[in-house]
A and B are shown apart, each in its own frame.
Chain A
Amino acid sequence: GNSVTQMEGPVTLSEEAFLTINCTYTATGYPSLFWYVQYPGEGLQLLLKATKADDKGSNKGFEATYRKETTSFHLEKGSVQVSDSAVYFCALGTTNAGKSTFGDGTTLTVKP
């Protein structure tokens, strides 16, 4: 079945450091790929997405590229800010059966 494996956290960085959160997946077919962000006390919200191989999703300085050959969708940001502290989830789009698949989440803390 479909699955998502995310880099284990927590991750602690200093402000302006480079961020990478690894995400690899196993899927039948070619689902869309998503990164969601969850701020404390809130629900998840979409950060970026990619719908097909080699697509690059980007938003708020974050980027991720849909790599079919390595089944990966790593999240990157060149210079993190304190306000980026949150939990990040990698996810596969829903299958024909309607089921969705999320990674376990990676907690990022950015220190000033």
Chain B
Amino acid sequence: DAGITQSPRYKITETGRQVTLMCHQTWSHSYMFWYRQDLGHGLRLIYYSAAADITDKGEVPDGYVVSRSKTENFPLTLESATRSQTSVYFCASSVARNTEAFFGQGTRLTVV
């Protein structure tokens, strides 16, 4: 199906483990984003990418790694998960700068 999809939808992992959240979009949008959503903090930008092989830090990048070898994929890796990274993670894409963003359904990650 066309659109932006995230996987998995739910994930429980242990402290210290590496975990990768996947994001795939079918529109060939240039921009892709990762956000985390926590109560009391709204949406916070973790990383973003303006094109394949171009990524940059957002507001809260520590503890996360991204890559974008293909336009359509933008995986987010937690190298060594901590409890503070328990959150709902949203991936989004937009066709260009300053245009509307399309969001995935989110991944609810729990670190125990």
Q: Which residues of A contact B (CB under 8 A)?
A: 31-32, 34, 36, 42-46, 49, 89, 91, 93-100, 102-105
A34–B41 Cα gap in the complex (Å)?
Answer: 19
Cross-chain contact A34 with B100 (CB below 8 angstroms): yes
Cross-chain contact A99 with B98 (CB below 8 angstroms): no
CB distance from B30 to the nearest CB of A (A): 9
Interchain residue pairs with CB less than 8 A apart (6): A43-B105, A94-B31, A94-B99, A98-B49, A104-B41, A105-B43
Question: A45-B103, A103-B42 are contacts. A94–B98 as well, Cβ < 8 Å?
Answer: yes
Q: Which label, helix, strand, loop or mixed, suits the secondary structure of the B interface?
A: strand
Q: Which residues of B contact A (CB under 8 A)?
A: 31, 33, 35, 40-43, 45, 48-50, 56, 58, 90, 92, 94, 97-106
Nearest A-chain residue to B106, judged by Cβ: A43
A45–B103 Cα gap in the complex (Å)?
Answer: 7
Nearest B-chain residue to A101, judged by Cβ: B45
Cross-chain contact A32 with B99 (CB below 8 angstroms): yes
Cross-chain contact A98 with B105 (CB below 8 angstroms): no
